Structure 1
Amino acid sequence: MTNADLHDDVRDPELPGLLLTTERDALIPLLRSRPDADFALPTAACPGWTVRHVLAHCSAALARVVENRFEKGVFSPESNDRDIAERADWTNAQVVDELERGMTEAGAAIAKAGGALDMVALGEWVHAGDVRETFGEPGAYAGDGLPYALTLLARVSREKGHVPLHADLDDLDEPLLLGDANGEHPPARFIGEASTLVRLYSGRPLEGARYELAGVEERELNLFG
């Protein structure tokens, strides 16, 4: 993926599925290699949730996408809690199996949704980062899926009319432009790593991250809050 691809406003319907399958190939082997005790570890990014809770939420969300089940209140905190509770008697392996199926099959449904479900793929990728960070794995919000995630992040932030931001990323040769690009407001500025930018836009912990941000408060960038 080139820098030009990151600035392309035209939706690629296959991109969310590509992000999911790329992350699947990295995450699922990692999960299958961990002992059951690791699934009970608390996550810093999702207070009150363990790794298992995060994975059950992710697998349930993708199952809903694949099965086209979107009742009123879906993806609300109450709905998420019900999804997790429904899997309380499952083994960790069963949760991982469902997650793998969802990451494999949801791309086609997301592609057909015309953009309405693209955030689901981005959210799944971010949650995978939450799990990797809990495990102490390097590059929690990076990896092979990062270019695809940045493309989705930039486009979604523009579609939502988010705060305009000019990001000079250590990982890219050219700046990344996010948010509303109508020119009515001067863009805020960010300098730092792409993974830190992801943390800002997803409301993840920033302890130890080195970056510069001007013209906007951290809380204003959160797309998931």
Structure 2
Amino acid sequence: MTVADTHDVRDPELPGRLLTAERDALVPLLRERPAEDFAAPTCCPGWTVRHVLAHCGAVLSRVVESRFEEGVFGPESNDRDIAERDAWAVARVVDELERGMTEAGPVIAEAGGVLDGIALGEWVHAGDVREAWELPGAYGGAQLGPALELLAHLTRVRGTLPLHADLDDLDEPLRLGAATGDGPPARYIGDATTLVRLCSGRRPPADTTYELAGATEAELNLYA
């Protein structure tokens, strides 16, 4: 698996491809789990699996329906969206999520880039669900390559700290962050899923080994 070293040119279809591929993997998994499993806690403080999925479905519904009032996607807005779905059956929560993952791609593509990060966030939250259920593939799996490509593009557009990542599971280095900086880029050596965790504010397992020089873990968090 390789990821191109240059991510300046936006691929408008990439977020939608990531969403639909994750839909095909995640939704069948959700459909087969008993309702009590959705009460499992996740790494998101105070959120269960059900809360995470309700949040994800609500965000995508807002995208599909172009509902972007002031404060949307902030903590208070997220809490309201989740509360509005408290009385829903789990199947309805999953239905909304599936619809959003199916229909949001074209809207994100037409938005010119301002909504691209939502697709990556949805994929990361799918990892939160897998981790909560102790399933393989959290923050990795078949869509790791496209997710890393989108991550690299987002960090360059947002001008985050330059980072050169030598990944155990990729053939080529991955370059994140601003194209130029005041000095050499920070350096990461380790596996790709740990890098995803760091860039999304998720704590790696205690036995994870990696090297990070020239930056702190907090400085890599795209959602800080």
TM-score (norm 2): 0.97
Q: Residue 168 of structure 1 aligns with which residue? A: 166
Q: What stretches of structure 1 of length at least 5 have no aligned partner? A: none
* Distance in 1, Cα, partners of 2:158 & 2:36: 40
Question: 1:149 and 2:139 equivalent?
Answer: no
Deviations 1:117-153 (A, max 9, x none): 0000000000000000000011200012111110111
Give the equivalent residue in structure 1 for 2:12: 13
Q: Is the 8 A contact 1:7 1:151 kept in 2?
A: no
- Report the Cα offset of residue 15 of structure 1: 0.2
Q: Secondary structure at the match of 1:184?
A: coil
What are the residue-to-residue correspondences of 1:1-225 with 2, within 5 Å?
A: 2-4=2-4, 7-43=6-42, 45-207=43-205, 208-225=207-224
- Amino acid across the alignment from 1:13: P
The Cα RMSD (Å) is: 1.1
Q: Which runs of 5+ in 2 are unaligned?
A: none
The amino acid that maps onto 1:216 is: A
Q: CA deviation digits over 1:146-187, x for unaligned, max 9?
A: 111101111111111111000000111110000011253211
Task: Check conservation: 2:169, 2:191, Cα contact below 8 A.
Answer: yes
> Amino acid of the residue matched to residue 26 of structure 1?
A
Q: 1:46-93, CA deviations, whole angstroms, 9 ceiling, x for partnerless residues?
A: 010000000000000000000000000000110001000111110001
Measured in 2, the distance between the counterparts of 1:202 and 1:136 equals 19
Q: CA deviation at 1:2?
A: 4.3
Runs of 4+ in 1 over 4 A off after TM superposition: none
Identity percentage of aligned residues: 70
CA displacement at 1:32 relative to structure 2: 0.7
> What code does the residue aligned with 2:30 have?
L
Rounded to whole Å, the distance in 2 between the matches of 1:170 and 1:34 is 33
Contact 1:40 1:50 in 2 (8 A): yes
How far apart are the structure 1 equivalents of 2:124 and 2:178?
22
Instruction: Name the CA distance, whole Å, in 2 between partners of 1:136 and 1:47.
Output: 17
Q: CA deviation at 1:33?
A: 1.2
Alpha-carbon distance between aligned partners in 2 of 1:65 and 1:79, rounded to the nearest angstrom? 14
1:91 & 1:203 partners in 2: Cα distance?
A: 30
| Alpha-carbon distance in 2 for matches of 1:78, 1:66 | 21
